[in-house]
Structure 1
Amino acid sequence: MDGIRMTRCGFLAGGLALAGTAVLGPTLGAGTALASSSPPITDCAGWGARPNSDIVPIWNRRPVKILVHHTATPNGGDLSEGAGYSLARSIQRFHMDTRGWLDTGQHFTISRGGFVMEGRHRSLEVLRSGTRQVEGAHCTGQNVVAVGIENEGTYIDTVPTGALWDSLRATCAYICIQYGIAPTELYGHRDFKNTACPGDALYAMLPRLRGEVAGLLGRNIEGGAAHKASWPLLRPGDTGDAVTAAQYLLRDNGLTEVIPNGHYDAATSDAVLRYQYATGAEDVGMIGGETWPVLARTVRSSEDSDAAKAVETLAARRGVESVPDVVDRPDWQRLLGTGGAPADLTADPTGPPR
């Protein structure tokens, strides 16, 4: 069975990568119009990867979504293939030598020049089979259920190059075809973690990405399905009603020294860090897709609590006339102004990234 063994954990574990170089163009299934439009993908050997330091786990299941990341590296002007390969090697070096992981964390990397590269060993081979998933290390809780794509650059206030965007769109379409993933199931890293990744500008382009991927697949996304429900990303220095709501929710969790004044000040930042440490979240001081779902608990209209005050604050400031008797996740997102089509919250069964 091609050197693969079944483990007691229920996943397929592949051996160390074999030598060899290939630049592989995807072959799309019958009935699609994309056979010639998917980008070529350079495998690990092609860009000069080191061998993985341990067995790459391969699960006998399909992923159900795609996560978009940015590398948070400079938006350099060298768009050559060689620059892309150098980036891939530097990412692998950082992940293995600094993070202590067995290999590159993401499944695929796209350079600013639009060159698509395999990230973690065997990701391309397994993608082409369409039935299994390489376990990544790109987002805790999503490493088995989501394909991770790193995009070279920092996209806080600038957008990707046209070449990168075209390759991202085509790569996502190919992944959707291979795994049967709906084009609406494309997310940003911040949807599941307390991070600015993939940058404000690129994150804002995700509805467009969903729509364009759907177009490549010959499908239409009806209504507001391209806009997925999410959580606002709050950072030190932010102001507004979402900050006030978060401050009330922190108080609801026992951090009563926080003053609900709508300013993400030093006291709020300190409380957020302590709350994240206590809940096992990444304690980066931002409130994002990892902390909001824990912080924003279910609230009943009859409550006299700080959480109920958070609901009242949002409803009053956003002019919401009626609030349900029970406020749950979709209601919080609507009140926070980030409602939309339901998001896929599936989490994988694995532990920390490796």
Structure 2
Amino acid sequence: MAEVVTWTSGGAIVGRFEVTRRGFLTGGLALAGTAVLGATVGAGTAWAFDGPPITDCAGWGARPNSAVVPIWNQRPVKILVHHTATPNVTDYSQGAAFALARSIQNFHMDTRGWLDTGQHFTISRGGDVMEGRHRSLEVLRIGQRQVEGAHCTGQNIVSVGIENEGTYIDTDPTDALWTSLRTTCAYICSQYGIAPTELYGHRDFKNTACPGDRLYGMLPRLRREVAGLLGKNVEGGATQKASWPLLRPGDVGVDVQAAQYLLRDHGMTEVVPHGRYDAATADAVVAFEQATGAEDVGMLGGETWPVLARTVRSSERSEAGKAVETLAARRNAESVPDVVTRPDWQRLLGTGGSPADTSVDPVGPPR
């Protein structure tokens, strides 16, 4: 059975493709100034997929990069999904999309001090897909090397970063954006040989709400649909990746209480383990993040949990042991291993799943 995928720009249909069971696209489009990606397949891939039309940097009026864009002689192994945290606009025109790309580049270069846009690709709410950092599209077509990004510390040379226009804390992305996101991910996977299950959110690696609670919650669906477009069969559990809960000021519950015990375990004895993410807890989280070199935003996410939740014996009389005991009481039907490691913490926190790719790139300042 085939699926019809339609691309629009400014409300007009510019392409209609039929996705076959084998994952190939057939059809055509007519969109001046936009690159249509061919089915050049990176070495070692088992499937081919033509991507959506992608406008390169020249097409949306990018400034020149301020320094040479580093290109690594290796392929990325995952895709990171972001949201731009900008208004959920209703202007879905291509002109609005290009203006967004320019504003992001200006912010990244003029305020962040980076050499270019940080992410590799940007998708507008109208579904327009644009190259972000210079040379990202060129290198993707070849499928052998990786443009160094600046979208997530520790992930900039092992992942492709995709920014999605809007804020998706309590709102779903538009259908046009979603269609472009999944077809873009499928093309990136086909070019680099990335497994369709290796799609992550920014918060999996940093202390951030990005890409928003709603879009982050849609990632299992994204993995499943990308796999379907590529004609790949994945087990249902494989689309749910092991992660860490995102805790924020105002949250309450057992997860917060366990985090408070763990903060005390690391010497922050001023924290009271009452299960409320209050100001004192937020201050302690910031202090811990500063001490460990993490992003100190007062949220407890994917960057800090792996450091905070140390390996511990479940029977030991320590604050970390109390954290295990607190979480285990909630899941009283499950046994707790004698030695609790990261996967066990994630299972006790209710965020277990298939193993996540924890590979990181050399630590360095974003450029």
TM above 0.5, one fold?
yes
Contact 1:22/1:45, CA 8 A, preserved across alignment: no
For 1:333, the equivalent position in structure 2 comes to: 346
Count of aligned pairs between the two proteins: 332
Contact 2:48/2:190, CA 8 A, preserved across alignment: no
For 1:308, the equivalent position in structure 2 comes to: 321
SS of 2:162's equivalent in the other structure is strand
Residue 115 (structure 1) aligned with residue 122 (structure 2):
no
Contact 2:285/2:299, CA 8 A, preserved across alignment: yes
For 1:291, the equivalent position in structure 2 comes to: 304
Select the residue among 287, 307, 315 that pairs with 1:274: 287
TM-score (norm 2): 0.89
Superposed, 1:177-256 pairs within 5 Å as: 177-256=190-269
1:318 Cα shift?
2.3
For 1:173, the equivalent position in structure 2 comes to: 186
Select the residue among 19, 32, 36 that pairs with 1:25: 36
Superposed, 1:133-144 pairs within 5 Å as: 133-144=146-157
1:317 Cα shift?
1.8
SS of 1:69's equivalent in the other structure is strand
SS of 2:163's equivalent in the other structure is strand
Select the residue among 119, 123, 128 that pairs with 1:106: 119
CA distance in 2 between partners of 1:336 and 1:302 (Å): 18
Select the residue among 71, 76, 86 that pairs with 1:63: 76
1:33 Cα shift?
6.5
SS of 1:270's equivalent in the other structure is helix
Q: Mean Cα displacement is larger for which, 339-348 or 320-329?
A: 320-329
CA distance in 2 between partners of 1:32 and 1:275 (Å): 45
Q: Deviations over 1:197-235 (max 9, x none)?
A: 000000000000000000000011113000000000000
Select the residue among 126, 142, 154 that pairs with 1:129: 142
Gaps of 5+ in 2: 1-31
CA distance in 2 between partners of 1:266 and 1:350 (Å): 31
CA distance in 2 between partners of 1:235 and 1:350 (Å): 26
Contact 1:144/1:350, CA 8 A, preserved across alignment: no
CA distance in 2 between partners of 1:191 and 1:32 (Å): 27
CA distance in 1 between partners of 2:364 and 2:96 (Å): 33
Q: Deviations over 1:134-156 (max 9, x none)?
A: 00000000000000000000000
Gaps of 5+ in 1: 1-20
For 1:12, the equivalent position in structure 2 comes to: none
CA distance in 2 between partners of 1:279 and 1:29 (Å): 43
Select the residue among 87, 94, 101 that pairs with 1:81: 94
CA distance in 2 between partners of 1:48 and 1:77 (Å): 22
CA distance in 2 between partners of 1:193 and 1:206 (Å): 17
SS of 1:23's equivalent in the other structure is coil
SS of 1:150's equivalent in the other structure is strand
CA distance in 2 between partners of 1:39 and 1:321 (Å): 46
CA distance in 1 between partners of 2:322 and 2:263 (Å): 12
For 1:90, the equivalent position in structure 2 comes to: 103
For 2:59, the equivalent position in structure 1 comes to: 46
Q: Mean Cα displacement is larger for which, 297-306 or 232-241?
A: 297-306
For 2:158, the equivalent position in structure 1 comes to: 145
Q: Which ranges of 4 or more aligned residues in structure 1 deviate by more than 6 Å?
A: none
For 2:20, the equivalent position in structure 1 comes to: none
CA distance in 2 between partners of 1:291 and 1:350 (Å): 16
For 1:8, the equivalent position in structure 2 comes to: none
CA distance in 2 between partners of 1:320 and 1:275 (Å): 33
1:27 Cα shift?
1.3
1:22 Cα shift?
5.1
SS of 2:81's equivalent in the other structure is strand
Contact 2:258/2:326, CA 8 A, preserved across alignment: yes
Identity of aligned residues (%): 79
1:29 Cα shift?
4.5
The verdict on how the C-alpha distance between 1:281 and 1:321 changes in structure 2, with shifts beyond 3 A counting, is same
1:302 Cα shift?
3.7
CA distance in 2 between partners of 1:92 and 1:321 (Å): 49
